[in-house]
Amino acid sequence: MFKKDSKVTLGILLTNLFIAFLGIGLVIPVLPTIMNELNISGKVVGYMVAAFAITQLVISPIAGKWVDRYGRKIMIVIGLFIFGFSEFLFGMGTTVSILFISRMLGGVSAAFIMPAVTAFIADITTVATRAKALGYMSAAISTGFIIGPGIGGFLAEFGTRIPFYVAGVLGVVAAIGSILFLKEPTRSIEEEQAEEQKSGLRRIFVPMYLIAFLIIFISSFGLAAFESLFSLFVDHKFSFTPKDIAIVITGGAIVGAVAQVVLFDRLTKRLGEIALIRYSLIFSTILVFVMTFVSSYMAILVTTFLVFVGFDLIRPAVTAYLSKIAGNEQGFVGGMNSMFTSLANIFGPIIGGILFDVNFNYPYYFAALVLGIGVILTIFWKKPKNYTTY
């Protein structure tokens, strides 16, 4: 069980993540309206999405080092303020250049917040409670993103820009709450000094890290390719309505979030992170491939729900594994986690989109192939000597 102080701190951290991803979700329903207001093409919107991911990719390694050097709390607070400002800026933006700046600032905020929260959780939990806490972390992110579009659609009734302003206010409130109620976790002197010993991108290629980082990329690539093209896939192949698509995506995300809370801790304790990742990758690979064969509405619904369960068990498992072996490099691995996720979020939709233009099924065939490579990698994945067991 979590200590009382740790429960309070964990609650604040999870609330911060929930608010940040709620804010991201809030703006989704009004983006088409903004596009029409400013005469922005879908191509430009795609570039804006990429601008967020590319900025996060560039900043994440630097932010990871700063998390270890300057502390977890300060990075979370700065990240939340930047998030709030970026949302206000998007709400007030009347030119494409302002919207691009807003999205790039959003990428900076994500690069600051994610590794800092991950490192913070690693600091305040024990080996026995960390997996559960990281499962809650993933569920907080998923839940915020799920609820956001629904609330955003309601707020848009009062004005197209209102969801952006509400997201901005939430970011600032979360930042102020963190200043008042978060206390920087205690780290040993050795831990404070160790970040000077080994830093830089060369650490990516250290054997105990490399496969884990590749798995993050592979799983994120598979999810990005699957999710970003899902609406086009079911629209072209099955003539799904926007309502049908919303039901399937939202339902799948909810099922995945529940699976994280209910199953993740138990499965991690029973199987260990590496085995859980391997089985989840096998599960996801098969189901992504099966998506190209199913035809009935119910079959698509069930397959999609199960795909989300597989993907949603992989990320916290890799994060838990990395937190156990990182020792004094929690910020570094958090930054790399964010960086490899960003890389996948850039290339997954791009490659998937190119293949989609050739054949509807090709993006899913390719995603299944990439996930299959991940399965093979896990066969050669061994626990390092400094791996901590329960």
d(CA 181, CA 220) in angstroms, rounded, equals: 33
Please, how many CA atoms are within 13 Å of residue 28, restricted to the half-sphere of its CB?
A: 15
Q: Does 389 fall in a domain? A: no
CATH of the domain at 289: 1.20.1250.20
Q: Quick one: pLDDT at residue 300?
A: 86
Q: Does 174 fall in a domain? A: yes
Q: Does 195 fall in a domain? A: no
Q: Looking at the structure, tell me whether residues 156 and 242 fall in a common domain.
A: no
Q: Looking at the structure, tell me whether residues 214 and 175 fall in a common domain.
A: no
Number of compact structural domains in the chain: 2
d(CA 53, CA 314) in angstroms, rounded, equals: 20
Q: Quick one: pLDDT at residue 278?
A: 94
Splitting the chain (390 residues) into consecutive groups of 10 residues, what average pLDDT does each group show? 71 86 72 74 70 85 88 94 94 88 91 88 80 76 72 80 90 92 71 48 75 89 77 77 71 80 85 91 93 86 87 85 78 79 80 82 90 91 65
Q: Does 193 fall in a domain? A: no
d(CA 368, CA 291) in angstroms, rounded, equals: 10
Q: Do 351 and 202 form a contact (C-beta atoms < 8 A)?
A: no
Domain range for 115:
1-181
Residues ≥6 apart with Cβ < 8 Å to 37:
160
Helix (H, G, I), strand (E, B) or coil at 183: coil
Token pair 């995603």 in the structure block, residue: 367
The pLDDT tens digits for 338-356 are: 788 878 877 887 788 788 8
Please, how many CA atoms are within 13 Å of residue 12, restricted to the half-sphere of its CB?
A: 23
Q: Does 158 fall in a domain? A: yes
Q: Do 44 and 93 form a contact (C-beta atoms < 8 A)?
A: no
Q: Looking at the structure, tell me whether residues 212 and 168 fall in a common domain.
A: no
Q: Looking at the structure, tell me whether residues 123 and 263 fall in a common domain.
A: no
Q: Quick one: pLDDT at residue 280?
A: 93
Q: Looking at the structure, tell me whether residues 119 and 264 fall in a common domain.
A: no
Q: Quick one: pLDDT at residue 140?
A: 80
